[in-house]
Amino acid sequence: MNSLGDQIRAYLPYQRRNAASLALLAFAMVLTLSAFAEVGLARDGNIPSGLFVYGGGLVVLAMAAYVVQAKFAPYADPLLLPLAVALNGLGLAMIYRLDLDTSRDHKVAEMAGKKLISDEANAGGQLMWTFVGIALFVTAVLIMRDTDRPDAKFSFTPKTAQRYTYIIGLGAIILLLLPIVPGIGASINGARVWIRVAGFSVQPGEFAKLLLVVFFAGYLVNKRQAMSLIGKKVGPISLPRARDLGPILVIWFFSLGVLFMQKDLGTALLYFGLFISMLYIATQRVSWVVIGLGLLAVGVFVATQLPFMGHVNQRIDIWQNPKPYFDGGCLLDSGKVVPVNPDTDLYKQAKAAGSSYPGFTACDKLGGEYSDSAQLMKGMFALGEGGVLGTGLGQGEPWRTPLSFSDFIFDSMGEELGLTGLMAILLVYALIVQRGMKTAVAARDPFLKLFAGGVSFVVALQVFVIVGGVTKLIPLTGLTTPFLSQGGSSLMANWILIAILVRMSHDARKPAPQAIQDEGMTQIVSTR
Amino acid sequence: MDKPIRRVAIFGMLLFFGLMVQVNYVQGSQAEKLRTDSANTRQYLNVFNNPRGQITASGEVLASSYPTGKDNPKYGRKYVDGMVFSPVTGYFNGGASKVELAYNALLSGTDKRITHQRWFDMFIGKKPEGANVELSIDPAAQRLAYRLLKNNTSRRAGAAVIDVKTGAVKVLSSSSSYDPNDVAPQTGEQGAKKLQQLDGMRGVIQPLIDNGMSQTFPPGSSFKTVVAAMAMDDLGMSSSTPVNTGPLILPESGKSLPNSHDSGSCGGTAPMLGAFAESCNTAFGRIALDAGIQKLHDESSKFGFNRKWNIEPMLKPAESDVPISFVGADGNKVDTGKDGTARSGIGQENVRATPLQMAMVAAAVANKGKIMQPYLVQKVTTKDQSTVYQADPKLFSQAMKSGTADQLEDMMRAVVNEGTAKNLIGQGIAGKTGTAEQGAGIPNARWFVGFSPMNNPRYAFAVVTEGTGDGASGAGPLAAQILAQVRK
């Protein structure tokens, strides 16, 4: 086979790049420690004690991860670990910085005898989850064996998952449905994507994302031959056979289900986009992409027409013109959003009637649900405040945006690190995605190719949906920003994702097994 | 499968490219718009988060910021003798007035002159500190002036003293006044309400409007200085030219324009110097009639009447006027007729002037006809003592010929030595009295407008107080005391 991967392997013999990896890791640590130092120096002129706890903690964890990677996956892509550590470290520094402000708000509120409803940035918790995340990375790299030695005892490789394709698919669906189950499902900040387990809030969707990639990869590897068969030809596009349309319709209904039940356009977009891209990789048929995009358009159109799907409309209305809803928007049952801001008669009437929250009262009178664009606009104001160079870590006021430490952490970064910092962060993400894609190209097995490609693309898509949302490029939906957002589920899932890529890149990049030359001219046959 | 993977990889890059374009658009080109968005409360909150520079006068700190120890506002603003200095310093409560407004960008540290100089601080994220503003005001004289004005009348009073050589304003005093401490950031809601209440006052006493440069009064006989300058510059007269001081019948109404007394110089005919010294209305009414209202309007314009001008950036004194026409009670435009012209010649009818404007008239007399551009701020220095702004004396206008100014100097000295202000002999000031009627039942505006010392004058001044009696006794002694303090 004269594939690109073979060409790369033929002309560029892979080497261990552990020294490069270590140097980059050291740079990621310097970046993180500097970020912590700057927070302290800017706020009170001292190196903060958090530098030793949080920065030091991260350094120890990252070094452990490096040692394991160097020992057990020495041919792994040298960039993946340092990039993930840099993002994790920057996110931790930002959460630490936000924690200093929000916990102070908390104390002030406590002294005044009030209880703050909004949850707050929690640097200690994030450090703990970072620890768990990196521990999972270490474990995953340790237990996963090289794919070309499936005969080893207790072998567990990325390819092992292929055997359990349908069980994993079922698992993904169960995880996705868990938040809707009464009792363990929990609604936090209006989104029903959480479950409560032993006192912790877990976002099963983050893990389901990984399982779905495995399921899609396993399924498509089996069915890709059939699905790439050509049926009718319409114009320039070769349509697939009608009987092969089944799977894509199932996923489509499934995504619509997510959209309807969780009222979450972003997540639906993420799953469906992931499936289409993997379908395209597996079949090489552009027609699948066209069909997929058509189905997506139909789905979104239907969603905007259904009255009970007002959330989608509202997000779109707010995205197009957030201003009228800044001080108050009201989502009616008909799916329309009307402003109830202080300039409106409704607001004035409610105020004249003596209401202390005229916007809410006015919306109640209309029988709608209060929702405003304040969060999005405050995030945008944070970006504006940052400008090109940013205010500097610890010197802005990113805590003025609600959820500045999770959904809106990208805007918080934008305020304090500026356009310059955001470009760097986006480049880090882009590099992770590209290294993942390169691993997919270099992989020797179709399942692993799909697996690596899907995992890389899901990162790109997720970053696009959330970052595009908070920068008003597309309507806002709440997804986590990989490695930056506060939250254990997201950190754990993403560290596992990096571990899988590290293991697969090691597999792909290591030299082919050497022939044992004691039997004369016997040619070694590929073990694939 | 490598080809589609590469295509998906490229698509992934396009997604990132889209994000990068959007972030560049938002933070690069939209940043300023977002920062000043009307819904963005950060722009109002931030003003209390950093200390502003000080406002000082002769090295004495008049306004300064201090940490409140609270979150909002982080910094309060303290004014020393707020009632005395508020006509110059103004207030700051997020919004601002007077010097606090005119020099806001420098005081808050956002001015380009500071940020460009401190670009390295900006780069390492250090916020530039506000600069200190040094006023031209003489604090001791300003204090004395406020005390005198306040004790003199329960109604309005104002005073202005200018250094004639430079234009530096030494005193700009007002009674009524207000204390900017009452509306400073640390007062919060209460201060905002207080400010609203002060702003809403519609009676005679409006504390936010200072009577030194923001309020006009009829200048009365003190305006004869301008008329005399016109007579000598344009009508070929001199201080010794005999003028008719006898009774004057107004041409339109047939009523007479009265003199305060019909004896002495006002008894029929006198040199202009005598008519000026004894303030004979009829003589100056006749000069105004001879010249016509247009000429009088043009002459007064040379002194700064009839237009708005900036004393400091964004800070304009009230417009002093010698109107050719005015809008009557019925909303129609009415020309100033002959009677009105004659009455304008003695600073009545619709002629109005701020004390600062009349001090500028006196400054022209005392400085060979030249008025220097008045200013309130001497210099602005950053925290590291480098000067970012320095007042640069420049010509405001050549209001009259140098010879005319010399003669008017003599005439003003004659007012004190032999005319209407003999009560001020030996006090080192010369000037022109004015006693303007403001309508039935309203106290007179009593003026004394002149210069000091008597010879080689250095300061020009104008003092106005409202009350019964005349300018010589109602304003003259105040001016003498204030100028004695300024000369120290």
* pLDDT tens digits, one per residue of B128-165: 678 999 999 999 999 999 999 999 999 999 999 999 99
Mean local confidence (pLDDT), B72-86: 91
Q: Which residues of A touch B125 (CB under 8 A)?
A: 38, 42, 391-392, 395
Strand duo B256-257 + B248-249: pairing: antiparallel
Q: Is the peptide bond preceding residue A78 cis, with omega within 30 degrees of 0?
A: no
Q: Helix, strand or coil for residue B386?
A: coil
Q: What pLDDT score was predicted for residue A17?
A: 83
Residue A522 pLDDT grade (very low, low, confident, very high; cuts 50, 70, 90):
low
Inter-chain residue contact B39 with A433, CB threshold 8 Å: no
Say yes or no for a CB contact (<8 Å) between A277 and B8: yes
pLDDT at A463 over 50: yes
pLDDT for res B315: 92
- pLDDT at residue A117 tops 50: no
- Reported as half-sphere exposure (CB side, CA atoms, 13 A), residue A405 has a value of 24
Q: pLDDT higher for A244 or B365?
A: B365
Q: What is the pLDDT of residue A426?
A: 97
Tell me the backbone φ, ψ of residue B210, rounded to 5 degrees.
-75, 150
- Measured between CA atoms, the residue of chain A closest to residue B19 is A468
Q: Alpha-carbon distance A10 to A17, whole Å?
A: 18
**Locate tokens 């740079």: which residue?**
A27
pLDDT-derived band at A12, boundaries 50, 70, 90: low
How many CB atoms are closer than 10 A to CB B417? 16
Query: Residue A364: is its pLDDT beyond 70?
Result: yes
Q: pLDDT tens, B223-263?
A: 999 999 999 999 999 999 999 999 999 989 889 898 988 88
- Mean pLDDT confidence for A144-157: 64
Give the number of residues written for chain B: 488
**Structure tokens given for B398:** 């050549």
Interface contact A383-B34, CB threshold 8 A: yes
pLDDT of residue A309: 64
Amino acid A404 reads: S
CA distance A238 to A256: 26
A421, containing H or E segment: helix A409-442
Mean pLDDT of chain A: 81
Tokens of B340: 């009105």
B39, A377: Cβ pair inside 8 Å?
Answer: yes
Q: Which of B20, B308, B26, B58 is nearest to B171 (CA)?
A: B58
- Distance, in Å, from the CA atom of A382 to the CA atom of A380, rounded to the nearest integer, reads 5
* pLDDT digit string, tens, across residues A253-283: 877 777 667 667 777 888 889 989 998 999 8
For CA atoms B45, B48, B53, B58, the dihedral sign is positive
* Distance between CA atoms of residues B49 and B42, nearest Å: 10
**Is residue B327 less than 8 Å (CB to CB) from chain A?**
no
Among chain B residues, the shortest Cα distance to A411 is held by B23
**Using an 8 Å Cβ cutoff, are A390 and A396 in contact?**
yes
Nearest by CB: B34 against A381, A423, A434: A381
User: What is the per-residue pLDDT for B39?
Assistant: 77
ipTM at complex level: 0.89
How many C-beta atoms lie closer than 10 Å to residue A7's C-beta?
Answer: 12
Provide the terminal-to-terminal Cα distance of chain A, rounded to the nearest Å. 12
Nearest to B27 among A414, A438, A457 (CB): A414
Average pLDDT rounded to a whole number, residues B167-173: 96
How far A516 CA lies from chain B's nearest CA (Å)? 31
| Distance from the Cα of residue A83 to its chain's centroid | 15
Helix, coil or strand: residue B421: coil
Cβ count within 10 A of residue A479? 28
Nearest Cα of chain A lies from the Cα of B40 at a distance, in angstroms, of 7
Dig out the tokens for B74 from the structure.
């982080």
pLDDT at A311: 67
Please name which of A306, A310, A338 lies closest in space to residue A325, comparing C-alpha atoms: A338
| Mean pLDDT, residues B456-479 taken together | 94
State whether A380 and B26 contact (CB < 8 Å): yes
Alpha-carbon distances, residue B317 vs A433, B210, B300, B310, B364 (angstroms) = 65, 10, 16, 7, 18
Q: What angle do CA B339, B344, B349 make, to 5 degrees?
A: 75
Among A429, A446, A468, the residue with its CB nearest the CB of B22 is: A468
Per-residue pLDDT at A373 exceeds 80: no
CB distance B215 to B468 below 8 Å: no
B411 vs A321, residue with greater confidence: B411
Confidence of residue B5 (pLDDT cuts 50, 70, 90): very high
- Which chain B residue has the Cα nearest residue A43? B126
Could A426 and B34 be called an inter-chain contact, meaning their C-beta atoms sit closer than 8 Å?
A: no
Which chain A residues have a beta carbon less than 8 Å from that of B5?
281, 437, 440-441, 449, 453
Q: Cite the DSSP H helix spans in A188-285.
A: 204-227, 246-262, 265-283
SS3 category, A18? helix
Task: Answer yes or no: is pLDDT of A31 > 70.
Answer: yes
How many angstroms away from the CA of B198 is the closest CA of chain A?
26
Asked if B10 reaches chain A (Cβ–Cβ under 8 Å), the answer is no
B42 touches chain A (CB under 8 A): yes
The residues of B assigned a catalytic role are 221
Nearest to A471 among B6, B22, B127 (CB): B22
Give the Cα separation of B42 and B34 in Å (integer).
Answer: 10
Mutate to test the interface with B, among A444, A457, A459 (most CBs of B within 10 A): A457
Mind telling me how many Å the CA of B47 is from chain A's nearest CA?
13
pLDDT (mean) for A394-400: 83
The phi and psi torsions of B200 (rounded to 5 degrees) equal -85, -5
Task: Say which of A42, A387, A456 has its CB closest to residue B125.
Answer: A42
Chain length of chain A: 528
- How far is residue B9's CA from residue B111's CA, in Å, rounded to a whole number? 47
- A384–B15 C-beta distance less than 8 A: no
Give the pLDDT score at B199.
86
Q: In this structure, is the dihedral angle defined by the CA atoms of residues A405, A411, A416 and A422, taken in order, positive or negative?
A: positive
Q: Which of B14, B27, B37, B123 to mutate to test the interface with A (most CBs of A within 10 A)?
A: B27
Alpha-carbon distance values, B110 to A439, B51, B383 (Å): 50, 12, 14
The verdict on a CB contact (< 8 Å) between B16 and A464 is: yes
Q: Is B43's Cβ below 8 Å from some Cβ in A? A: no
Return the minimum-mean-pLDDT range out of A157-161, B136-140, B171-175: A157-161
Q: Does B70 touch chain A (CB under 8 A)?
A: no
Interface contact flag, B8 A280, Cβ < 8 Å: yes
Residue ranges per structural domain of chain A: 1-155+382-462+473-511+524-528, 157-320, 323-372
Question: Closest chain B residue to A383 measured between Cα atoms?
Answer: B27
